Amino acid sequence: MTKRRRRYKRGYPLAVLVGLEERRAVLWRVFSEVVKLDGTVERGPEAERGKLYDFHESIVNALRPALKEGIKSIVVAAPARTDYAKNFLDHVRKHHAWLIHEGPNAATFGELVGSAVQLHDVHELVRTKRFRDVIGETTSRDAENIAAALEKSLDLDDSGTVVSYSLEEIEDLVYGRQEQSRPRPEHLVLTDKYLADTKNRGRIPRLLQISKNMGIKTTIVNAETGTGLRLSQFGGLVCFAKPSRQKMK
């Protein structure tokens, strides 16, 4: 009898960790249960010291898939007494203002001293209190942006955004997205408590996976934060959608 392979629990996404060295950057997806390698960006041999534009642009491009999926907390780590993190964050502020200014595409960046290139170093780093503090700060600021979007959408003067709270209605929106007359779901938000306590254990992972496949942003927030408490007032699950083009005409 063959032994069944045990599936590990990945949990929900928290952030992207970027480990910087002089000539490379290693990206990691940080989930609530595990950390997974997401890619490596090498600095070209033609780049002289101080000429880092192409290297930093490649890192931003490597972050785009995670940002598109709705992971907006980015933690940048570099060894002590180096300026790798500072130089990269300066590049983002100068050339990618859309990433740091308030708006639906904005991300939240945190900085951490430490090596995050080798897996064993990353495992040690994510267990530290300073890493948890940075994650807490970035996810809280990200959650505040979500809360602001929710309040704006609930405003009667807001034009257009459709906010849905029931699982059935949200499934109907997501699975029927191909129909032009339906609102177009753009962002699915739920609390970690809703994810842990839901009785619909088969439906929620399917909804999250299909949303991801369709390019719908998904965000899971801490239920104990201000944003989490506000979402809990609506049941813990909210979907933001835009009206169909036909209705807008």
pLDDT tens digits for range 160-180: 677 888 999 999 988 875 566
More confident position, 140 or 224: 224
Distance of CA 152 to the CA centre of its chain: 21
**Which element (helix H / strand E) includes 186?**
strand 184-191
Domains in the chain, ordered, with CATH?
13-144 (3.30.420.60), 159-248 (3.30.1330.30)
More confident position, 105 or 225: 225
Between the CA of residue 144 and those of 58, 70, 126, 128, 191, what are the distances in Å? 29, 14, 23, 25, 14
Across the strands, what pairs with 18? 27, 76
CA dist 87 and 52 (Å) reads 8
CA dist 185 and 225 (Å) reads 24
Give me the chain's average pLDDT, please.
82
For residues 133-165, one letter each, b for 16 or more C-beta atoms within 10 angstroms of the residue's C-beta and e for the rest, the string is: ebbeebbbbbbebbbebbeeeeeeeeeebbebe
pLDDT tens digits for range 204-249: 888 988 988 888 888 888 888 778 888 888 899 988 888 765 444 4
